[in-house]
A and B are shown apart, each in its own frame.
Chain A
Amino acid sequence: MTARARDDGQLLSALSDGDMGAMQTLYERHASWLSVRLSRRCNDREVVADVLQDTFVAVWRSAARFRGEGDVAAWLWGIAIRRLVSRLQSRQAVIVMSDLPEDPSRSTLAAEEQVLMGIEYGDLGKAMSRLSPEMRAVVQATVLDGLTTREAARLLGLPQNTVKTRLHRAKAQLRASLTEGSS
């Protein structure tokens, strides 16, 4: 069986036997989207490159720890975002979160988004757009990226209590707009 034909879980189990071909295939499949997603959270290209390197080195060393529960892509992202957080802890100041404003003129995009949102979140997309950018960043870090409040605080450069308060308020607002939308 060639490396191309194997799924991610099989590739990971091949890594623990030192299969460099499997490692390369895994890298080719996942490095692109991981690096794009990381660069949305950190605009320093060098830091993203280092984090990507750390991530795959960690994958190589800890492949045996993946038990086949859950998705490989989600597992990879979990490693990558935590590497980014620990990188931010040791090197400060170069990181700026990207937060582009929504462009209301892109109405063609909106229709596509509706479909996506409909599948992934129901009305959550609309509710999310009503949140302030600060709260949205907190929800993104904790709920979507799966970080703890402590890790999110480091990523966003905020005190941990601020993250907790914002998350609490964001959840209340989301709940309010979702119940309002369904009634």
Chain B
Amino acid sequence: MSQYHVAPEDLHDWVRGGSGSIASMSVEQHVARCQDCRSDVAALVASAPTHAVPDLADVWSRVRDEIELPPASGFERLLARLGLPSSDATLVAAASSWRGPWLTALCAALVFVAAAAAASASDSSAGTSLFLLVAPLVPVFAVALAYGPEASGALEQESTVPYPLARLVFLRTAAVLIGSVPVVVLVGLFLPGRLSWLWLLPAIGFTSTVLGLSVWVSPMRAAEGITLGWVAAVACAVRFSTVMAVLDGRYLALYCVLLIAGPITLIVGSRRFGTIGRIT
């Protein structure tokens, strides 16, 4: 370590940002090597805080907060990298549909349905009916389970924080759909003809209806109501013509109306009441 030190007034000038570039270069080179001058700098900064240097106590508390926080999960980091704010990423990652058991159960059920459908490759077979009965309801229940107070203990805490509820619901819904729809789509690819993708329309129509209805009732109740209606519709179709009747043009238009009406109802309703269903 050098026996020479930076003159006090030069050090003072450097800290205030008043020294020229050559002078500050030499001060910097010296300070980087000299512990005594570094503690002089610390004393100068502490005794008279300058506007140029940030509030060190504040930065320290931020550093401490960050290193004491548990590290984010891999999925959260992925979402954050995709551009989602980190607080949103945490909320999305907490959605129950991303947990292993949930996805495993979903896959198992669908593989079973697909096997039945694939075994009988005609439009009116029992396998096709079964797929058409189950597939549109999968995202509906995935979404309902992600919020229903029955399923989520975290929701009570979440609904007390000042965070727009409608935004929370939409974010979660997106997360849930991204988790569950691809699995069903994959299974659907094994089915013949336009059925393999047309079922998506009632699926998202119903999901959006759950969101809309959740202004008044809990998402789980809404999902149950939709299930009853859908089962009845499919049963009638099978009884009086073929199951493909539920994918007739007129009904497809109805699903589109549901798809658009749901989110609008949720936004308007949550603004007006400040509550969503039993979630207040």
Check A36–B4 contact: CB distance below 8 A.
Answer: no
Given A36-B45, A53-B62; A125-B26 close (CB under 8 Å): yes
Chain B residues near A116: list those with CB within 8 A. 4, 6, 26-27, 30
Q: Do residues A32 and B42 form an inter-chain contact, with CB atoms below 8 A?
A: yes
Q: Is the CB of B10 within 8 A of A109?
A: yes
B55 to chain A, nearest CB (A): 7
- With A29-B39, A35-B45, A74-B32 as known contacts, state yes or no: A43 contacts B4, CB within 8 Å: no
1/0 contact trace for B94-117 toward A, CB 8 Å? 000000000000000000000000
Contact stretch, chosen from B14-22, B129-137, B140-148, B250-258:
B14-22
B68 (CB) vs chain A CBs: closest residue: A20
Interface pair A36/B15, CB less than 8 Å apart:
yes
What 1/0 mask marks residues of chain B from 20 to 39 whose CB sits below 8 Å from any chain A CB? 11111111111111010011
Q: A133, B41: Cβ atoms under 8 Å?
A: no
A43 in contact with B52 given A29-B42, A74-B32, A99-B21 (CB within 8 Å): yes
Q: When the two chains form the complex, which single residue of B24, B26, B56 contacts A120, counting CB atoms closer than 8 Å?
A: B26
What is the minimal beta-carbon distance from B159 to any residue of chain A, in angstroms? 31
Alpha-carbon distance A29/B39, docked complex (angstroms): 7
Please measure, in the bound complex, the distance between the C-alpha atom of A128 and the C-alpha atom of B55, giving whole angstroms. Answer: 33
* A99 to B, closest residue via Cβ: B21
Selected from B22, B53, B63, the residue in CB contact (under 8 A) with A36 is B53
- For A98, the chain B residues whose CB sits under 8 A away are 17, 21
Stretch of A44-52, A151-159, A161-169, A174-182 that contacts chain B: A44-52
- With known contacts A120-B26, A129-B22, A56–B45 Cβ distance under 8 A: no
Taking CB atoms, residues of chain A closer than 8 Å to B2 are: 119
Task: Say if the beta carbon of B194 comes within 8 Å of chain A.
Answer: no
Q: For the complex, what is the distance from the CA of A128 to the CA of B28, rounded to whole Å?
A: 15
Which A residues touch B46, using CB under 8 A? 32
Q: Are the CB atoms of B38 and A33 closer together than 8 Å?
A: yes
Contact check, A36 vs B14: say whether CB atoms are below 8 A apart.
yes
Cα(A48)–Cα(B55), bound, Å: 10
Chain B residues, CB < 8 A from A77: 32
Tell me, in angstroms, the Cα distance from A32 to B6 when the chains sit together: 16
A102 adjacent to B26 (CB under 8 Å): no
A27 touches B53 (CB 8 A): no
- Nearest 4 interchain pairs by C-beta: A49-B54, A102-B20, A32-B42, A32-B45
- In the complex, 6 of the A-B residue pairs with CB atoms within 8 angstroms, ordered by the A residue number, are A39-B52, A73-B35, A74-B32, A100-B21, A112-B6, A119-B30
